[in-house]
Amino acid sequence: MSETSSAPSFIRLFGRYLRDQGLPVTQQRESVAEVIFTSTAHLSVDEIEERLRERGDRIGKATIYRTMDLLVKSRLVEEHDFGEGFKRYEHRLSQQPIHEHLICLECGSVTEFESPEIHRVERRIREEYGFKPARHRVEIYGLCKSCHEAGAVLPEDGLFCPIETV
C-alpha cells in the first residue's frame, strides 16, 4: 500500500471529520488535504501553496492555514516547529508513523530516523517513575551530511539553544 494510493481514503477520513464537526467539505479543503496526504515531506504552508499552484489550484494562504489547523485537530496531520519561524506539517498515516527528526541548521533539510533506544527509555521511565509515557518528540539539530561535506560550520546560536530561536 503506497502512500499515494492511500490518499483518497485519508481524504475521506478528513471529510468525515469535517462533517462530524458540522463543517462543509469543500473542494479547496480536499485539495489541501490531498497535497499533504500524497507527500512524505515535512511541508510548510508556502510549500503547500506552491504545490497547489503547480496542480492549477489557486488557494489563498488563509484557507491553507485554516485547513491545516483542521487537519491537525483531526489528528490526521502533525505539526512541527523546527525553530524556523513557521510550522511544518506531515501526515500521521505514513508507513513509519513513529519517528524522530534530524534538522539541518544550514539547509533546513529534515531527515527522519527511528530510535528503538527511546522506546527502551520509555520502558525504563515506566518502571522507575511509574509514569506512563504517551508520546515523545526528539529533534536533533546539526549539520546534514552534504552541508558538512560542503564545509559548512555549525552556527553557534542555533546549536546553543534552538528552543530560544522559536
Residue ranges that bind Zn ion, judged by CB under 5 A:
90, 104, 106-107, 109, 112, 144, 147
CB of 60 to Zn ion, least distance (A): 26
Cell output for 12? 475521506
Of the two residues 51 and 88, which places its CB atom closer to Zn ion in the complex?
88
CB closer to Zn ion out of 86 and 131: 86
* Cell numbers standing for residue 69: 489547523
Q: Count Cα atoms within 13 angstroms, Cβ side, for 97.
A: 7
Please say which residue, 48 or 104, places its beta carbon nearer to Zn ion: 104
Q: Are 113 and 99 in contact (CB under 8 A)?
A: yes
Least spacing, CB of residue 128 vs Zn ion, in Å: 29
Q: Tell the smallest beta-carbon distance from residue 139 to Zn ion (Å).
A: 10
User: Cβ of 101: how many Cβ atoms within 10 Å?
Assistant: 18
